[in-house]
Amino acid sequence: MSEAAKRRSECKLDTRMSEAAKWRSECKLDTGMSGGPLLGWRPALVATDLDGTLLGSDGEVSAANLSALAAVAAAGVPYVVVTGRPWRWMAPVLLQLPAQGSAILANGALVVDLADGRVLASRPMTVGDTLTCVRVLRAAIPGGVFAMEYSDQSAFGREPAYRARWPPGEFRCGAAEQLCDRPVAKLLLRSESHGADALHALAAEAVRHQLVTLTHSSGQTGLVEISAAGVDKGAALARYAEDLGIAGRDVLAFGDGRNDLSMLSWAGHGVAVSNAHPATRAVADEIGASNDEDAVAAVLSRWFC
C-alpha cells in the first residue's frame, strides 16, 4: 500500500471540525502549528488552490507569488494547481504561471494536460447517479437550479435560470434531467435563497444515501458542487503524489475554501490563508496571510528564494 493510501486508511478523516482536530493530533506531522514545519523539513511537492488562495481578489497572480513558484520550479520541486475550476476557466491563469505539466481540476474529478487540455485521468459521476441526485435535490430544495461540467469537457450544461459566473462558451441549455446524458465531472446546484453553508447542509441531508461527494468553494454564494463518491481534492492529490513517488508527509498544500479541506488535511503541511472558510482553517497546520497579502509566497520563502 502506498504511503498516501496508508495514511488515508489509517486516519479516516471525518470533515467535522472536532474529528478533524483529533485527526491532526493523532495522525499528522507535529508541525508546531504556529512555528511552521519541523526543523530540516522541506516540501517535495507544492500544491495550491487558485481562487482565494494563489490568486488575489482581482483574479491575478501577484508578482511575489509568481516569483515564489518560479523559485520552486527552479529548485526542481514540482508544483501542481488543484482547483475547482474546469478547463474552460484556466486560460487566464495559465498565461501567468511558470510552465507545469498538468493540473487537478473540477475538485479532483479531472487531471488535465496543460499543454493541450487533454484529460489524463477522469473520475466522473455516472449518468444514473447524476440523474438520481438531480431528482432528489429538486424535491428537497425548491427553486434550486442546476448546471454541469461534463467529464469530456465538451460543453457546459445549464438550466435557463442558472446564472453562469463566467461566459460558458459552448453550452447546452435545458432541464437538468435532460442534460444528464453523459458522465459529469461536477454537478452544480445554485439557490438564491440560501448561503453556501446553509445550502450545503440542506443538500447533504437530502443526498445522504446517494453515492456522491458535496462541497462548496463560493463563500456566501448559494452554490454547492457535487462530485462522484470519493472524489475530492485530497484524494486526487494523494494519487498525484503517489504517481510521482512522493509521500504525503512531504507535500505542502495551500487553500481557502471548504473544497480545500480534504487537501489540507491530507498534506504533510497544510496552510490555510487567513481569508479561508472556518472549517478549512480548523484543519490547517498553519494560518497564513490573506490571498491579497501574498500568503503563498510568504510560506514558500522559507525554502525557496
Mean pLDDT of 227-234: 96
* Cβ neighbours, 10 Å, residue 142: 8
* Domain boundaries 127-228, CATH class: alpha beta
Q: Which of 159-173, 219-233, 256-270 has the highest mean pLDDT?
A: 256-270
Q: If you average pLDDT over residues 177-192, what whole number do you get?
A: 94
Domains of the chain by residue range = 3-122+232-300, 127-228
Which grid coordinates belong to 228? Answer: 462522484
Instruction: Please give the Cα distance from 92 to 189 (Å, whole number).
Output: 25
Read off the pTM: 0.86
**For 98-150, how does the pLDDT look when each residue is reduced to its tens digit (9 = 90+)?**
888 899 999 999 999 988 888 999 999 999 999 999 999 999 999 999 999 99
Q: How far apart are CA 305 and CA 297, in angstroms?
A: 9
Average pLDDT over residues 8-23: 36
pLDDT at 4: 40
pLDDT of residue 23: 37
Q: What mean pLDDT do residues 290-298 have?
A: 98
CA nearest to 194, candidates 220, 164, 163: 220
Q: Which residue has the higher pLDDT, 196 or 127?
A: 127
List CB contacts of 293: < 8 A, sequence separation 6 or more.
274
Q: If DSSP states are collapsed to H, E and C, what string results for the chain?
A: CCHHHHHHHHHCCCCCHHHHHHHHHHHCCCCCCCCCCCCCCCCCEEEECHHHHHECCCCCECHHHHHHHHHHHHCCCCEEEECCCCHHHCHHHHCCCCCCCEEEEHHHCEEEECCCCCEEEECCECHHHHHHHHHHHHHHCCCCEEEEEECCCCCEEECCCCCCCCCCCCEEECCHHHHCCCCEEEEEEECCCCCHHHHHHHHHHHCCCCCEEEECCCCCCCEEEEEECCCCHHHHHHHHHHHCCCCHHHEEEEECCHHHHHHHHHCCEEEECCCCCHHHHHHCCEECCCHHHCHHHHHHCCCCC
Q: Rounded to whole angstroms, how far apart are CA atoms 219 and 200?
A: 11
Better-scored residue on pLDDT, 216 or 228: 228
Mean pLDDT of 188-199: 90
State residue 29's pLDDT score.
43
Separation between Cα atoms, residue 84 and residue 106, nearest integer Å: 4
Least confident interval from 52-66, 124-138, 206-220: 206-220
Q: How far is CA 135 from CA 141, 147, 155, 182, 305, in A?
A: 10, 13, 22, 16, 52
Q: Is the domain covering 3-122+232-300 a CATH 3.40.50.1000 domain?
A: yes
pLDDT of 199 > 50? The answer is yes
Q: For 301-305, what is the mean pLDDT?
A: 93
Structure confidence at residue 2 as a pLDDT band (50, 70, 90): very low
